[in-house]
Amino acid sequence: MKSTAAGLPLSYRLAVASRCLAALFGGYALAAMAGVLLSQWLPLPRADAVQVGMMSSFLFYLGAFIWAFASHSAWRAWLGILLPSLVLGTINGLTYWVARP
């Protein structure tokens, strides 16, 4: 991770761009899914669970940013963000359709 922008191979630049996208969009998806999960499963009145879900979602976003740049490769960065998002999304989807058929 040399800090000078010049003289870096294209593959490195693409990897950094890919990580940025993973953090930005993947991170948002993860945060949103985690927020929804909390809002649906927390044993609180619905409006409160929604508030707690929204408030905590940003911590997941923060975590995704750190993961995206800390993991060993850009592929792992994507995997580590998209996989949990998909799992959470599936649970959320099921919960949603069970609750309102």
Partner 1 sequence: MKEGFRQAMAWLHTWAGLIFGWLLFAIFLTGTMSYFKPEITRWSQPEVPVRALDIPLALGKAQDYLQRNAGDAPNWFIQLPDERTPGITVGWRGGDGQRGFIRKTLDAATGAEVPTRETRGGDFFYRFHFQLEMPYPWGRWLATFAALMMLVGLVTGIITHKKIFKEFFTFRPGKGQRLWLDGHNAIGVLVLPFHLMISYSSLVIFMYMVMPAPILAGYDNQDSYFNEVFGGRDLVAASGEKAPMQALPQLYARLLAQAPEAKISWLEIQRPGDRNAQVLFVPDGRERVSVQRGAGWRFNGADGSLAWSARPESVAGIVSGGFYGLHMASFAGPLLRWLYFFFGLAGTAVIGTGLVMWLGKRQVKHARSGTQPFELRLVEVLNIASMSGLILAVAGFFWANRLLPVGLEGRAQWEVNLFFGVWLASLLHALLRPGRRAWGEQLALAALAWTALPLLNGLTTGQGLNHSIPGGDWAMAGFDLTVFGCGLLFAWTAAKMLREPLPTARRTPKAARTPHLEAETN
Instruction: State the burial class of residue 79 (Cβ atoms within 10 Å of its Cβ: 0-12, 13-18, 19+).
Output: middle
- Pick from 72, 97, 98, 101 the residue near partner 1 by CB under 8 A: 72
- Touching partner 1, residues 31-70 (CB under 8 A): 31-33, 35-36, 38-40, 44-55, 57-58, 61-62, 65-66, 69-70
User: Quick check: 13 binds partner 1 (CB under 8 A)?
Assistant: no
Q: Three-class SS string for 19-33?
A: HHHHHHHHHHHHHHH
H helical segments located in 1-101: 10-21, 27-41, 46-70, 74-99
When the beta carbons of 10 and 72 are compared against partner 1, the nearer one is: 72
When the beta carbons of 31 and 81 are compared against partner 1, the nearer one is: 31
User: Quick check: 25 binds partner 1 (CB under 8 A)?
Assistant: no
Alpha carbons 19 and 7: distance in angstroms, whole number:
20
Residues that bind partner 1 (CB under 8 A): 1, 3-6, 31-33, 35-36, 38-40, 44-55, 57-58, 61-62, 65-66, 69-72, 92, 96
